[in-house]
Amino acid sequence: MTRKQFSSGDVIADRRADYARMLMEAGDHAAAAELWEQALELAPDWAAGWFRLGEAAEKAGLKDKAVEAYARAAELDKEGVFGAALKLALLGAAPVPEAPPSAYVEGLFDDYAERFETALVEKLNYSVPAKLFSLVEPHGPFRLTVDLGCGTGLFGVEAAGATARLEGYDLSANMLAKAAQKSLYHHLAQADLSLAAEQSGLFSQEHPRHRADLVSAADVLMYLGALDNAFDLAAALLMPGGFFAFSVEDAGDGSGFRLQDSLRYAHSEAYVRQLLTAKGFDLVETRKTEIRMDAGKPVHGMLFLARRTS
């Protein structure tokens, strides 16, 4: 199953679903929910349909119906491709997960890869790679940079001239294919930052621990809640004295992280500082900034530069 699998396998159910989508586009979410329910009577095991019913019901203000639909979608979608568990958490019907399902993040960016740079840079005024590299540049040049969650290679564009070797890792194969087209990276591979080192895809005989003097994670960590694994991976990649540069969305005051309506996570400065210390990093510099626009409003974030202690 993929994010785009919206066929139920039943012609009549699909026809009703088509009408439901048109009603949703027109803003009549209550009527759309009724049609999704009719479609699901004919295709009761259709995970995508249950998720779309949840969306329609949620937008119509029918919270109980939305919770029921998302719960059914989560039950049917074992890999979590649709992210129903995140929706349930936002509605207060389930605990906030420490990370979204990897299949959800992978599907999100596989679908997004073709329009990623146009949407993010040209339309949403995305600026993290350049701003993050401005923190890093005074400490270069670097022998080996590992770009975590490299996406289409936007941080690689900034860093390529300041590093002898550039490695890029991402969960999305389609994003990696776009990064490869830039011909900047010496090595590109899939990796999952939510997993422990042995399962992450970052290490092998050819790619050992403590090989890098710079690790970057530009606009990546907002797709994780708890950052323990990601910081452990950065520490395992870096040689003593190496630098870790990353961004997060700003959760404001507090000591932890929270799931936002965007289904991204925001982290507090106190949480990041505490975790850096616990994982063996000294904080070198931090900067608060606008990182992109979202629905016409600026998204506030924080940039961090930390150094692995010896």
Least confident of 17-31, 118-132, 171-185, 247-261: 118-132
Alpha-helix runs per DSSP H in 60-147: 63-76, 84-90, 102-112, 116-117, 128-136
Tokens of 308: 């692995």
Taking only Cα atoms into account, the Rg of the chain, rounded to an integer number of angstroms, comes to 21
Q: pLDDT tens digits for 119-178?
A: 787 777 888 999 999 999 999 999 999 999 999 999 999 999 999 999 999 999 999 999
Label the pairing between strands 281-294 and 297-308: antiparallel
Q: What is the pLDDT of residue 4?
A: 46
Return residue ranges of the chain for CATH 3.40.50.150: 111-308
User: In this predicted model, which residue has the larger pLDDT, 126 or 88?
Assistant: 88
CATH architecture of 11-95: Alpha Horseshoe (1.25)
Q: What is the pLDDT of residue 295?
A: 79
Q: What is the pLDDT of residue 3?
A: 45
Distance CA 150, CA 202 (A): 13
Distance CA 129, CA 131 (A): 6
Q: Which residues of 115-147 are buried (b: 16+ CB within 10 A; e: fewer)?
A: ebeeebeeeeebbbbebbbebbeebbebebbbb
Return residue ranges of the chain for CATH 1.25.40.10: 11-95
Query: What is the mean pLDDT of the segment spanning 89-93?
Result: 97
Q: What is the pLDDT of residue 167?
A: 98
Q: What is the pLDDT of residue 1?
A: 38
Q: What is the DSSP string of 180-197?
A: HTTT--SEEEE--TTS-H
Residue 2 has pLDDT above 70, yes or no: no
Question: Where would I find the beta strands (DSSP E) of the chain?
Answer: 142-148, 163-170, 187-190, 212-217, 238-250, 257-259, 265-267, 281-294, 297-308
Q: How confident is the model at residue 199 (pLDDT cuts 50, 70, 90)?
A: very high
Q: Are 252 and 145 in contact (CB under 8 A)?
A: no
Tell if the pTM clears 0.85, that is, is over it.
yes
- The rounded mean pLDDT for the chain is 94
Q: CA 245, 283, 227: angle at the middle one, nearest 5?
A: 60
Q: pLDDT tens digits for 227-252?
A: 999 999 999 999 999 999 999 999 99
Distance CA 178, CA 180 (A): 5
Query: What is the mean pLDDT of the segment spanning 34-57?
Result: 96
Q: What is the pLDDT of residue 6?
A: 65
Task: Give the type of residue at 95.
Answer: P
Distance CA 83, CA 214 (A): 32
Residue 215 has pLDDT above 50, yes or no: yes
Query: What is the mean pLDDT of the segment spanning 38-44?
Result: 95
**Length of the chain in residues, anyone?**
310
Please give the share of the chain, as a percent, with pLDDT higher than 90. 87
Query: What is the mean pLDDT of the segment spanning 197-223?
Result: 96
Residue 285 has pLDDT above 50, yes or no: yes
CATH superfamily of 111-308: Vaccinia Virus protein VP39 (3.40.50.150)
Among 68, 178, 162, residue whose Cα is nearest residue 118: 178
> What is the helix (H) or strand (E) element at residue 35, kind and residue range?
helix 29-42
